[in-house]
A and B are shown apart, each in its own frame.
Chain A
């Protein structure tokens, strides 16, 4: 299966209308009407036609489903087409799946981020499948002249049981396409689901187990040249001059060009060596002699910046949320505790480095092949940047070799487009691992000043979480106003199910000149550590069991209570542990969803060994339990790396870590077993899968370490082999 797709243009569709509530386009067209040649390429069948942009049924019976959500490991290549296939009554092994490329006919939701795919598309894409099914059923009933209710759809066929007649979807496709699109198709009763909610094999797994999946880095285009791009190691440097005479002596080097690296509000100068193959481009780039003007940024280092954030914690900041009168309650309380928590900058580090193939062709047309989370944003931003119609921008969304937020950015795509324009050739830009590690954007650090007060009975009477950090919005927006709170930096701290009679949560903005961006689970990954470890500190101070203490802080009915109760059960929380062991609990709810952990650790020499992690994720509704488990297992791994590995630091204006030898990731022998339990008790909202398994892991681990050793960890990363 290849994952290239043909371009579908808006004008190709006979009718385009949107599902009123869904905001999705549903279109319908016959091949013979106009310009359907491109669509026909999908099956090579001249008689093929489209039922909707998301569903394509050829008269030969070939069914193609279009997936608007890029696949980066989170399983959307299965979970999203499954929504359509379930309602269309066809198995996923009987359909072709194609990634969309940002075309407006597939709507504006062509991106992967925020754990949004399933929870956003769950009903709209089921409606798309149900519409197609109803049209096929109607076409059959009309052909047989029997009541619609006597027909049923099953595995690509429509049956009329009493007469024993049947017609395939392919045979019905042409007649179905002439019918009106049902505005409110009937969705299946979940009890009749055959795919949704059940473990289903992902169709991309065989490709990914045989080297056949085509990632962005694997794309070859005729006439393509390669580019290795040099950036200043010091953030914010200006280019003074460069000498490319040695670079041009490298066999295979064709030219040296400048381009811009644009990321968020920043534009950085870059120098690209263009060559016949990647190795030559890389060697040529190593031979460049570049003079940068560091603009004073060479004085920047992590130690001083850390101190700056600590100093900033003394300022009041902006109010995130206020309940009751925190100051009064805090001052009047018999027991007060304060604690300061710190977290590091970390890298995304997907194993596939940043890359993109761009090709400008005649008529001001731009074609892009990329591992990206945001095909739609590529179409709109390049259309705007170059003043060309959206139809002139073709995006081939490849499998992403990991993303974790990094591929929400288009900096490497912009470089490729500029270089193709300059050279007049298709250009493959490929960053080295050093480029990827050194250049960011990074997950920012957040520091947290926590304050809490207890009554004589051990009840929490006042609570404060003050966040001190750089701002994601600041990095992304040149017009950012620091006098207004960036709530992406206080994510979740005022949204937990805990009820505090007096609470005042605050945010203190810190200037930062290093590009930062969303990282899997965004700011919850750091804030949950402070929030949930401090809750533990309060529990200890109150002399209560940490799980009971949390349950005591929340309303009788809440998803958080369900998660905590399930954790108590699956971890056998109330069963004593062996000597030298400890267990910790944490949960965190934020925009993407809700999950919690119980982690068990044991003392091992001067450090600790993680024995086991129990995760509970609350989804309301799920598509593929096996994918959900995989996502939580992976989130725990990423959380462990962020907790115990070096992270990113800066010295003399540069990123200290350059590659995986210094920017280490957790390896197989360091990863404990994670047992995942999924809650699907319905509930009013569908929650996300990809991110919620991350934030509560580190605090559960650190709470377990406290339980085992009495050492309270308030600063990440920490050395798991040496617990003070």
Chain B
């Protein structure tokens, strides 16, 4: 065990954990933010997606040490009042079903739109194919990303 300082959503947290512990578990069980989800543990489903310095990463495979000194953003950090353009679009189009994968979906979508404010369907395929949704909300995710783009660019 060792003590690390993590900067999550612009706030510093001291965690005393196994250096090999994936960032996911440090965020969930030590920082105490539960919005980031565990789905597979091998970076296949994307439920654990967070931003590291603004880029989407799968926190289930990233050792906590790799995130020390870097800016980590979780679903809780993208807005205070559920009013990020992506969240607005998600609510408007009623995207989630069970909702479990949606934190990861939203984090991937936010990262995409930050990079490409007007993504094409091909851009969406490329950015979102790492996020599984067993309920099958893909069609709405696609529409909601286009809608979020409109909201952001209006």
Contact = CB atoms under 8 A, between A and B. Distances in A.
Contacts of A430: 38
A687 B99 CA distance: 25
Contacts of B99: 73, 204-205, 207-209, 213, 399, 401
Given A75-B97, A204-B99, A205-B96, A667 B129 contact: yes
Interface in A596-619: none
B138 A668 contact: yes
Interface in B57-97: 74-76, 79, 82, 87, 90-91, 94-97
Given A209-B91, A350-B100, A660-B45, A671 B40 contact: no
B153 interface: no
Contact of A210 (B30, B87, B94, B132): B87
A279 B128 contact: no
Given A205-B91, A350-B134, A211 B98 contact: no
Contacts of A631: 97
Given A280-B18, A668-B138, A210 B35 contact: yes
B132 A665 contact: yes
Interface stretch (A323-331, A507-515, A531-539, A634-642): A634-642
Contact of B98 (A220, A350, A433, A661): A350
Interface string A628-652: 0011011111100000000000000
Contacts of B41: 432-434, 659
B140 interface: yes
B136 A634 contact: yes
A215 interface: yes
Nearest to A676: B139
A630 B140 CA distance: 8
Contacts of A463: none
A668 B98 contact: no
A211 B44 contact: no
Nearest to A673: B139
B125 A630 contact: no
A562 B30 CA distance: 56
B18 A283 contact: yes
A89 to B, nearest CB: 24
B15 to A, nearest CB: 10
B102 interface: yes
Interface in A173-205: 201-202, 204-205
B133 A351 contact: yes
A621 interface: no
A73 B25 contact: no
B1 interface: yes
B34 A278 contact: no
A229 interface: no
Contacts of B47: 351
B124 interface: yes
A351 to B, nearest CB: 5
Question: Do most interface residues of chain B lie in helix, strand or loop, or is the interface mixed?
Answer: loop
A349 interface: yes
B8 interface: no
A671 B87 CA distance: 22
Contacts of A661: 42, 44
A684 B56 CA distance: 51
Interface string A337-368: 00000000000011111000000000000000
Contact of B44 (A205, A353, A659): A659
Contacts of B102: 208-209
Interface in B114-151: 124-125, 128-129, 131-142
A589 B152 CA distance: 44
B100 A352 contact: yes
A374 interface: no
A630 B97 CA distance: 8
A717 interface: no
A205 B90 contact: yes
A211 B76 contact: yes
A544 interface: no
B38 A210 contact: no
Given A73-B135, A209-B91, A671-B136, A401 B37 contact: yes
Interface string A259-288: 000000000000000000111100100000
Nearest to B32: A220
A218 B75 CA distance: 14
Nearest to A211: B35
Nearest to B25: A279
Interface string B20-32: 0110010011101
A558 B87 CA distance: 43
Contacts of B100: 215, 350-352, 401-402
Contacts of B33: 211
A402 B136 CA distance: 11
A163 B43 CA distance: 66
Contacts of B34: 211, 214, 217-218
A403 B99 CA distance: 12
B98 to A, nearest CB: 3
Which residue of B44, B106, B125 has the most chain A CB atoms within 10 A of its CB atom? B44
Nearest to B33: A211
A209 B90 contact: yes
Contacts of A252: 1, 18
A118 interface: no
Contacts of A667: 129, 132, 138
A251 B18 contact: yes
A667 B132 CA distance: 6
Contact of B131 (A202, A205, A208, A668): A668
A333 B135 CA distance: 46
The 4 closest A-B pairs by CB, nearest first: A211-B35, A637-B136, A208-B99, A401-B100
15 contacts: A205-B90, A208-B96, A208-B99, A209-B106, A277-B30, A279-B25, A350-B100, A401-B100, A404-B134, A434-B41, A631-B97, A659-B44, A667-B129, A669-B129, A671-B136
Given A352-B100, A660-B44, A668-B142, 10 more contacts: A73-B97, A206-B82, A209-B82, A211-B33, A277-B25, A352-B37, A401-B101, A403-B98, A660-B40, A666-B136
Interface of B: 1, 17-18, 21-22, 25, 28-30, 32-42, 44-45, 47, 74-76, 79, 82, 87, 90-91, 94-103, 106, 124-125, 128-129, 131-142
Interface of A: 72-75, 201-202, 204-215, 217-218, 220, 251-252, 277-280, 283, 349-353, 399-404, 430, 432-434, 626-627, 630-631, 633-638, 659-661, 665-669, 671, 673-674
